[in-house]
């Protein structure tokens, strides 16, 4: 089953909501707090508790005007910001799981409303959901394959994020196992539900983007050589970033007219 540009955009949204990305946003009016809200590599700049208080320079896209950004984004303070990022509150876990699965704003009344997808029942309504296939793997999207009921049919497999919880009126991610975690936070602390790294044995060795040693709960660095992947060649007090704009030459842009810089 193929998918159009709308589905591709939803896939990007879901991926960027996972631990390891700097994100405090809202989708369809639901507040989303990813690992950024928990002390870690994107949540602070203090080197993971080492007291260094060193700013981390990273590869970022700069815009000159809203025309440089993709649709539904606007240029604010030289950076593209999603126009839907108005943080409100969640009422229950369903609100969070609908947003994290990319279903918010994609309600359906018939299968025809979901080109390239499937219309499924969830929490008293129906939503267009991405189906796993030979070309779409739920794990690549950092989602889980689950069974839901197709509108007008029986059980169907779809990709979903059901590990988000509404806590204090804000959506937070709570892992249930290591398969829920990735990137700079590869191990699940099942007691707290937070993704982090493990020092012994070090779980960051296989990491190919960012830090390769566990520092302060996130994959970071002790020296420059511990930083790996495009845009990561400088160690800033335990956290990997870019040394200069030239480090960002292979950075993959999201927006058509932006310029990538190290800042």
Is the separation of the CB atoms in 122 and 8 below 8 Å? no
- Helix (H), strand (E) at residue 99: helix 93-100
In which band, very low, low, confident or very high, does the pLDDT at 107 lie, cut at 50, 70 and 90?
very high
β partners of residue 73: 82
Alpha carbon distance 105, 167 (integer Å): 22
Instruction: Pick the closest to residue 231 from 258, 195, 255, 261 (CA basis).
Output: 261
246 three-class SS: helix
pLDDT of 159 strictly over 90: yes
As a whole number, mean pLDDT of residues 186-203 equals 92
- Per-residue model confidence as pLDDT tens digits over 71-95: 878 999 999 987 754 445 799 999 9
**Highest mean pLDDT: which of 28-42, 66-80, 89-103, 111-125?**
111-125
β partners of residue 228: 210
What's the pLDDT at 113? 97
pTM of the model: 0.64
- DSSP letters for 160-201: E---EEEETTEEEE--SSGGG-BTTB-EEETTTTEEE--BTT
pLDDT of 153 strictly over 70: yes
Q: Give the chain's radius of gyration (CA, Å).
A: 19
The residue assigned the tokens 């939503």 is: 127
């Amino acid at each position: 089953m193929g998918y159009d540009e709308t589905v591709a955009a939803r896939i990007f949204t879901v991926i960027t909501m996972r631990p390891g990305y700097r994100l405090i946003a809202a989708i369809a009016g639901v507040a989303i707090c990813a690992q950024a809200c928990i002390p870690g590599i994107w949540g602070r700049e203090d080197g993971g508790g080492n007291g260094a208080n060193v700013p981390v320079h990273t590869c970022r896209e700069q815009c000159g005007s809203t025309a440089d950004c993709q649709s539904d984004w606007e240029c604010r303070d030289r950076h593209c910001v999603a126009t839907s990022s108005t943080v409100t509150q969640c009422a229950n876990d369903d609100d969070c799981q609908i947003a994290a699965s990319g279903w918010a704003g994609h309600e359906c009344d018939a299968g025809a409303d979901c080109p390239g997808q499937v219309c499924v029942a969830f929490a008293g309504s129906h939503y267009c959901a991405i189906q796993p296939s030979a070309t779409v793997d739920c794990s690549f999207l950092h989602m889980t394959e689950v069974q839901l009921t197709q509108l007008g049919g029986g059980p169907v497999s779809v990709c979903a994020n059901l590990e988000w919880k509404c806590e204090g009126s804000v959506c937070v991610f709570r892992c249930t196992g290591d398969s829920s975690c990735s990137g700079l936070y590869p191990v699940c602390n099942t007691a707290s539900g937070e993704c982090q790294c493990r020092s012994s044995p070090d779980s960051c060795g296989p990491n190919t983007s960012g830090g390769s040693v566990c520092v302060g709960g996130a994959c970071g660095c002790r020296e420059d050589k511990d930083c790996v992947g495009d845009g990561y060649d400088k160690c800033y007090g335990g956290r990997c970033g870019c040394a200069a704009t030239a480090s960002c030459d292979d950075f993959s842009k999201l927006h058509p007219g932006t310029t990538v810089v190290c800042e």
